[in-house]
Structure 1
Amino acid sequence: MSTVLVERSLGVVTVTIDRPKRRNAITGAVVEDLLYAFEKIARTPADRAVILTGAGGAFCSGMDLSEPVSPDPLTFMTRVGQLCTVIHDLPRPVIAKVSGAAMGFGCNLALCCDLVVASQDAIFGEIFADRGIALDGGASWSLPRLIGIAKAKELVFFSRRVEADEAERIGLINRVVPATEIDNVVASWAQDLADGPTLALSMMKSALNNSFESSFKRAIDSESLNQTVAFGTSEAREAGRAFAQKRSPQFRADENPG
């Protein structure tokens, strides 16, 4: 029985961790089910934008410490790292929709996504020090880039829990909305992205993800190559026609039905 639900509608894929009785805590089975879902999305051109969320009022409470780490810690954490990498590198925009707890790995799983939208009841926690364990989920990479190294050290050294409003204020997440509005806001964002220029968005995502490891010259050279490719795409041609005709571009006009 799968621990992950996958729903598709109009180019948007919603991936839901479905262990509400454990507040969607992560096990080896969850990691494998998420990997399968995201690897399939990467191979499916019709999947144009992704929402990652959790069932039952929590995003993800972290690793399920009641489950054995199998077959051994290194193998397990290697698969966890592969999951984070697949999400981070996925050539589609990914939105984390966070309600309730996003703790430990759950917090960092959200940060693997491109955008994080949280309800006002959400709480983010880098609780590893309380558990006597080290960081995972790419936090040592993502936290300093999002909030600066000093604030990152504060959060992880003291196992800080951060409510949604503060998370938005310090730049940890993108947006906080009332719980009654989060479904509509995230659905709107995801549909806008799904209706957008998929190839251009994937190139922009890759360029921004690599920006801290790149020199300015290398970034300029990469942008030149990306633009050379982009200028020749049907997306760019449609945008040009739309501009001339004073209408919104229809980037999905050439999609095959179904």
Structure 2
Amino acid sequence: MSRVAYTYGRRGRLNSANSGVRETAPTYGKPRNSLFSEKAGGHIKVELNNERLVAHLLIIDPRVKAFQPQPFTVDLIDQRMLFTRDAVRTAWHKHREIPGPKFYTPDFSVDWTDGLHQAIEVKGEGNEGDDVYWDKIARARPILAANGYPLRSVVVPKNGRNPLRMNPGVLKQAIHRLDAWLTDELVARVTRRCESGPISVGALCAEVQLLPGVIPVLLVGGVISADIAHHTICSTLEVSLAYGDLSHLYLIEEMETARGMNG
């Protein structure tokens, strides 16, 4: 009796009905990770939870103007970027006899508010890729940089209790509550209490009579700040007045790898 090795998780096939460059991989009955963001132009789908988490980081980061998942493909043979499915199909037929990696697709493209652009590759801790993967990244990096999309590689922590895994989703939801919850009266109460110095979330909620669910709204609204990259949002988290500063939401750098930066 022969054994047949079944493979799963292949990339989506190309066809004329597909939009964009590459459809996310089939999930064989499992719902894809989807989310909504105005920065991404509405509802988007990503393949993995790690990519969904990074999308949350991009949503809450005030420096990000727009982003897209799997935005384009890099032709490693002709050293150019492909922006349509027809271009990818043509290049695939052209290079089909050439051995080794021929294409690379970043997980995200990012447009920053300062006018710069960037491509992002997402990996999970413990699955950062082998030498073949990093060789492909090294080949794609100068092509992306030459086209104005320098590549940033980030590694999502494996530990589910890591603040970088626990906080972004809460903060992303808080953005949708800003208009309804962040009133002038609330800001004034919190400002008066925090003017004397840092205070724990538990003490702030007790003294100002706040629900704990308001704390993420105050963080994304720039009323208070905290080290949310290294501490989860809970009663023991120490917060202080932010005076409109949102730099505590710059979390993508906390996942950046030295190898990813240097290639």
Q: Given the two structures, how large is their TM-score scaled by the length of structure 1?
A: 0.25
TM-score by length of 2: 0.24
- Structure with greater helix share of residues: 1
